[in-house]
């Protein structure tokens, strides 16, 4: 098969010809129909992820067609159109038994713990547990865009944040994750305040349903501005960027008993940000995380896509070829594209 391979961190990957994968007994092999290019792939390529063993094939936001199944697989057959969360469960640990595969003790992450989907074919483990059937009407590019940013935002707003209609939701950072969170919160009837430093992104946020915006580069106290707009603070607030400043503001702008959900990754020297803990206690705030979403929760999200309440296709930017994915991957830190870049030809 054709695949993007890197043998050293931070050196330009090459387009290689590799043996086709064989399915594990509990796994399947998919013919990749689309795979998203994500900043997590860039971090992996740079050597920031200890799970990656060289040589490596990146790619974790994928959708495709089953072409081979292991002997123990009962739910899937060749020809099925599927996607997969970026965290797959092992099926055997206490968290998997409790239905929380997104925090499994022995995670299967294509493109990190195993070879990923910047390739014509990819193997997926524990297929009966981890695969999600696609609606016939959903194209592969849209499906690939769900697995990482969109599903994590869905879990953050719906399951972790427990957002309900009429509540105020503050979204800090209006990149792909933040715009997803805005679309989802708006769809379930919440009132969204979007925060960013770019007027262009705030305009996109308004287009996806934000009823108010704060330009953080022109506002001395972002939390105070959100508290004023929401007449007392947000019920739910998310840091969709992953930065000490947005994390702090997201907690600081909550009303009493509000819920902060951290979606943006906190890496390296950002890993232990300052938290206004006195306010967490006095106002009984909740601090939550969101780490992908388990396969068995995809149905709720896919139904909202099928009925038109959510339109993840609006967040797709450029579609490119596997060959072009090398430049897209290596320039991820310098090139800020509007919308997700998705590989659709292999
Ligand atoms: Zn991703
Ligand atoms: Zn597990």
- Going from the Cα of 125 to the center of ligand 2, the distance in angstroms, rounded, reads 12
* Nearest ligand to the C-alpha atom of residue 125: 2
| pLDDT at residue 335, rounded to an integer | 62
Mean pLDDT estimate for the chain: 96
Run of H or E residues at 256: strand 254-262
User: Given CA atoms 52, 58, 63, 66 in this order, what sign does their dihedral have?
Assistant: negative
- Going from the Cα of 315 to the center of ligand 1, the distance in angstroms, rounded, reads 14
For the segment 74-117, what is each residue's pLDDT rounded down to a tens digit? 999 999 999 999 999 999 999 999 999 999 999 999 999 999 99
Tell me the pairing of strands 121-124 and 61-69.
unpaired
**Cβ neighbours for 330, distance < 8 A, ≥ 6 positions apart:** 12, 13, 42, 45
For the segment 295-337, what is each residue's pLDDT rounded down to a tens digit? 999 999 999 999 999 999 999 999 999 999 999 999 987 766 6
Backbone angles phi, psi at 279, to 5 degrees: -70, -35
> Is residue 189's pLDDT more than 90?
yes
Location of structure tokens 């890496």: 267
Confirm if 223 and 204 have CB atoms less than 8 A apart: no
Neighbours of ion ligand 2 (CB under 5 A): 89-90, 93, 96, 104
Average pLDDT of the residues in 47-53: 92
> Is residue 338's pLDDT more than 80?
no
**DSSP per residue over 49-79, as a string?**
-TT--SSB----EEEEEEEEE-TT--S--TT
For the segment 8-19, what is each residue's pLDDT rounded down to a tens digit? 999 999 999 999
Take residue 102 and report the two structure tokens written for it.
Answer: 């997104």
For the chain, percent of residues with pLDDT exceeding 90: 92
| pLDDT at residue 52, rounded to an integer | 96
| pLDDT at residue 337, rounded to an integer | 67
Neighbours of ion ligand 1 (CB under 5 A): 38, 40, 61, 148
| pLDDT at residue 267, rounded to an integer | 79
* Nearest ligand to the C-alpha atom of residue 35: 1
User: Given CA atoms 149, 102, 237, 208 in this order, what sign does their dihedral have?
Assistant: positive
For the segment 232-278, what is each residue's pLDDT rounded down to a tens digit? 999 999 999 999 999 999 999 999 999 999 999 887 788 899 999 99
């Amino acid at each position: 098969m054709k695949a993007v391979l890197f043998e050293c961190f931070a050196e330009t990957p090459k387009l290689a010809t590799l043996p086709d994968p064989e399915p594990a007994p509990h796994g399947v092999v998919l013919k990749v129909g689309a795979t998203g290019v994500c900043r997590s792939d860039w971090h992996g390529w740079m050597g920031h992820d200890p799970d990656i063993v060289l040589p490596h094939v990146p790619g974790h936001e994928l959708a495709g067609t089953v072409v081979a199944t292991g002997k123990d697989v009962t739910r899937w057959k060749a020809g099925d159109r599927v996607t997969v969360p970026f965290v797959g469960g092992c099926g055997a640990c206490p968290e998997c038994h409790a239905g929380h595969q997104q925090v499994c003790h022995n995670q299967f992450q294509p493109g990190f713990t195993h070879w990923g989907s910047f390739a014509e074919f990819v193997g997926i483990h524990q297929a009966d547990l981890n695969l999600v059937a696609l609606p016939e009407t959903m194209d592969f590019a849209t499906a690939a865009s769900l697995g990482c940013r969109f599903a994590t935002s869905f879990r953050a707003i719906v399951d972790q944040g427990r957002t309900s209609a009429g509540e105020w939701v503050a979204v800090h950072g209006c990149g792909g994750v933040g715009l997803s969170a805005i679309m989802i919160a708006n769809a379930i009837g919440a009132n969204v305040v979007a925060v960013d430093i770019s007027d262009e992104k705030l305009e996109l946020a308004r287009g996806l349903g934000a009823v108010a915006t704060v330009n953080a580069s022109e506002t001395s106290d972002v939390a105070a501005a959100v508290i004023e707009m929401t007449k007392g603070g947000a019920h739910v607030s998310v840091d969709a960027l992953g930065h000490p400043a947005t994390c702090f503001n997201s907690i600081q702008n909550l009303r009493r008993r509000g819920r902060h959900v951290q979606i943006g990754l906190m890496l390296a020297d950002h890993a232990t940000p300052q938290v206004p803990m006195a306010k967490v206690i006095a106002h009984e705030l909740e601090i939550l995380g969101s780490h992908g979403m388990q396969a068995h929760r995809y149905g709720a999200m896919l139904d909202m896509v099928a009925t038109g309440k959510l339109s993840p296709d609006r967040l797709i930017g450029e579609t490119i070829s596997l060959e072009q994915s090398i430049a897209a991957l290596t320039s991820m830190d310098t090139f800020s594209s509007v919308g997700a870049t998705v590989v659709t030809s292999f």
